[in-house]
Amino acid sequence: MPTFLVTADTDLTAKLKRVSNWHFAETAAAVAQVLLRNGSASGDIYARINLAASTSASQAYPGPDYWMFPQGLYVDVLAGTVVGSVELE
């Protein structure tokens, strides 16, 4: 399963379509928000991840029930400074 680094808006729509896990951390002592979208920067929002200052969040989806993004995953860093990763299946 390939893992992709996320430090800003990241277009993974040409990659695999199923998410097995994600992890994001806010790194600038400010509030951050990350949107997981289907297909593009304006695609449907599948998840809204809110991070308080200097915190992190993770979620895993055990196989075979990986989280499906039919048009591919677009990671939208809406606010804050974020570093993280997404593992696709």
SS (H, E, C) 55-79: CEEEEECCCCCCEECCCCEEEEEEE
Q: Summarize the confidence of residues 10-19 as an average pLDDT.
A: 95
> Given this model, what pLDDT does residue 2 score?
93
Question: Which two three-digit tokens encode residue 87?
Answer: 């593992």
Task: Give, in order, the Cα–Cα distances in Å from 64 to each of 2, 37, 72, 76.
Answer: 16, 21, 18, 26
Is the model's pLDDT at 1 over the cut of 80? no
| CATH code where residue 66 lies | 2.60.290
Give the pLDDT confidence score for residue 42 in this predicted structure: 97
Q: Convert the pLDDT of each residue in 57-76 to its tens digit.
A: 999 998 887 989 999 999 99
Query: Nearest CA to 27 among 79, 70, 74, 76?
Result: 79
Number of domains present in the structure of the chain: 1
| Domain assignment of residue 76, given as a range | 3-88
Using a cut of 0.85, tell me whether the model's pTM lies above it. yes
